[in-house]
């Protein structure tokens, strides 16, 4: 069964950092492009970042550019999102999603990041 499982969310103070992980299983992770998409409480979906299968192409939303870094480890079948300089506006459930935008064909269950003092 194809599965994506996010982890690493939690409560962090403004200005702090957090690293999210997304573990893939049940499919050949190395050949798929991957994304992070977030959803603030009670709000809509917001695409955050894209990384190609070979990590040679990376895109970020303007709202996180310069603060977030996406990466992947094929040997560990994992996707990562390093988040720095966090603010309250970054509070959201973060989903990892497989595919090339805008076709995200598999999603994780999400991990909640709460930024508060």
Min separation Cβ 75 and another protein, Å: 26
Min separation Cβ 115 and another protein, Å: 21
Stretch that binds another protein, among 12-20, 21-29, 37-45, 72-80 (CB under 8 A): 37-45
Q: What is the rounded distance in angstroms from the CA atom of residue 42 to the CA atom of residue 31?
A: 34
For another protein, the closer of residues 3 and 13 by Cβ is: 3
Q: Is 102 helix (H, G, I), strand (E, B) or coil?
A: coil
65 contact partners, CB below 8 Å, separation of at least 6:
none
DSSP line for 23-52 = EEESS-GGG--EEEEEE-TTS-EEEEEEE-
The answer to the question of residue 41 lying near another protein (CB under 8 A) is no
Q: In the window 51-110, what residues touch another protein (CB under 8 A)?
A: 59-62, 95, 97, 101-105, 107-110
The answer to the question of residue 27 lying near another protein (CB under 8 A) is no
């Amino acid at each position: 069964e194809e599965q994506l499982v996010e982890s690493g969310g939690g409560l962090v103070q403004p200005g702090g950092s957090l690293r999210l992980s997304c573990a893939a299983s049940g499919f050949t992770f190395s050949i798929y492009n991957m994304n992070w998409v977030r959803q603030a409480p009670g709000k809509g979906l917001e695409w955050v970042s894209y990384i190609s299968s070979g990590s040679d192409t990376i895109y970020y939303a303007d709202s996180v550019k310069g603060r977030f870094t996406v990466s992947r480890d094929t040997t560990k079948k994992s996707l990562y999102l390093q988040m720095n300089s966090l603010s309250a506006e970054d509070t959201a459930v973060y989903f990892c999603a497989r595919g090339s935008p805008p076709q995200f064909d598999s999603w994780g269950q999400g991990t909640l990041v709460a930024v508060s003092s």
